[in-house]
Amino acid sequence: MNPEELLKEASNMQEELTKNRRYLHTHPETGFDLTETKAYVKRELTDMGYTPIDCGKAGLTALASGKKSGRVFLLRADMDALPIREEADVDFPSENGNMHACGHDMHTSMLLGAAKLLKQHEDEIHGTIKLMFQPAEEIFAGSKDMIDAGVLKNPDVDAALMIHVMAGLPMPSGTVIVCDGGISAPAADYFTIRIQGKGCHGSMPNNGIDPINAAAHIITALQEIHARELALSDEAVLTFGTIHGGAAENVIPDFVELGGTIRTYDEDVRSFLKKRMTEISQGIAATFRASAKVSFGTGCPTLKNDYELSSCISTYMTELLGKEKAFTAGALSALSGEKKAPKTAGSEDFAYISQEVPSIMLALAAGNPSEGYCFPQHHPKVKFDETALSYGTAIYAYAALRYLADHNV
């Protein structure tokens, strides 16, 4: 397979890629509720000659298999949007209160494009390429759901790759950054702390138990874990995002509920933080005669990039895009004078896949600030450069084809 020809084939698909992306962009759905999105993807795959298979609550898989035996390589795209009302300056905005503010519409369109390319090159596939269209990434639930439903089995996956588009990077659209081996994204956990007090009239606090007072002390105390109980090298962030309690200014409420997230790069630190959050919250609540229940909801582990796979994919990307548009995270950091590649602070539920099979995460530049792409992911005004679509399509297809050819057994 010729990388230049494959890139040209992908470029010739730009109109189709844009059409698919804009349909998905104007019909954003969240979590596992992807009725229109899933139906669209299934219809496109069927029209290409695939037999898409339902996987889990709302996922889809399809297989591209050649006549040559070999390993199994998985390509993943997430399909869900965010519950954000769009404010981006585009001609095709969402109007249903949801928004593809993280670029998952781009990912899905690129993997559909790769599926078409792979159909056209099916005889060149040494083994099998499994296409994974995943729901519920934003709530860290879709990847695990599909794993539980068997996405890594029948046939068993040997390696996996994902792409994430990035708006606002100061480099040309279509530039790819390959993560170095090791952890590149933190584990994430959502938590809630319910502080139970005893409601009463605000003029007689002695007749009740004030959960707001207990909540204030808990918020302050939990930030001390990072300051006094974690080492300098124990990178972690604990963030409160919600506080709910009370309905009237002159009433002490019956309870207060706090909500937030923790992010960690080490599983031991993750476990320690959860343990101490529970102990401190319950202890402080008891000090003020209240009680506290700490609950941890959906989350995901750290994302591990395989060292050997990182090296291979870096080589393939240079072949496909040239040295001017393909970098490792470490090499890019060195060019900017940094001693080591920075880790992303955003979590990614592809981490569940990376805990099971050798995996790699790629970042794809999709909008330079100097060209008007100034807002970051999850912002209501974020927009993405659609010229990146053909690059992402070629990257998906070429990475899988080259890996299988290199690891032919």
Model pLDDT for residues 202-250, shown as the tens digit of each residue: 999 999 999 999 999 999 999 999 999 999 999 999 999 999 999 999 9
Residue 79 shares a structural domain with residue 207: no
> HSE (CB half, 13 Å, CA atoms) of 229?
17
User: Where a domain ends, among 242, 277, 300?
Assistant: 300
What separation in angstroms does the CA of 324 have from each of 4, 268, 319? 15, 39, 11
pLDDT on residue 340: 61
Q: What's the CATH number where 148 sits?
A: 3.40.630.10
pLDDT per position as a tens digit, 109-141: 999 999 999 999 999 999 999 999 999 999 999
Question: Number of folded domains in the chain?
Answer: 2
Are residue 264 and residue 311 in the same domain, yes or no? no
- Residue 126 is assigned to a ligand binding site: no
> What is the predicted pLDDT for the residue at 405?
95
DSSP letter at 179?
A: P
Nearest alpha carbon to residue 116 among 396, 405, 408: 396
d(CA 334, CA 313): 19
Q: Which of 255, 276, 300 is the last residue of a domain?
A: 300
| 16 and 95, same domain (yes or no) | yes
Domain endpoint, select from 234, 267, 300: 300
| 149 and 51 housed in the same domain | yes
DSSP-derived pairing of the beta strands 291-300 and 176-178: unpaired
- Looking up residue 222, the CATH number of its domain turns out to be 3.30.70.360
Q: How far is CA 300 from CA 29, 104, 253, in A?
A: 21, 18, 34
Residue numbers of the domain that contains 343: 3-185+302-406
Clarify whether residues 125 and 100 are in a common domain: yes
Whole-prediction pTM: 0.90
138 annotated binding-site participant: yes
| In a shared domain, residues 172 and 219 | no
27 is in an annotated binding site: no
Q: Are residues 201 and 128 in the same domain?
A: no
Clarify whether residues 336 and 221 are in a common domain: no
Do residue 212 and residue 341 come from a single domain? no
pLDDT at 23: 98
Same-domain pairing of 177 and 195: no
Q: How far apart are CA 399 and CA 360, in angstroms?
A: 11
Please, is 199 exposed, middle or buried when counting C-beta atoms within 10 Å of its C-beta (0-12, 13-18, 19+)?
Answer: middle
Give the chain's residues under pLDDT 70.
Answer: 335-343, 409
pLDDT given for residue 55 in this prediction: 98
Q: Do 26 and 117 fall into the same domain? A: yes
**What pLDDT does 298 receive?**
77
Q: Report whether 102 belongs to an annotated binding site.
A: yes
Same domain, 63 and 177: yes
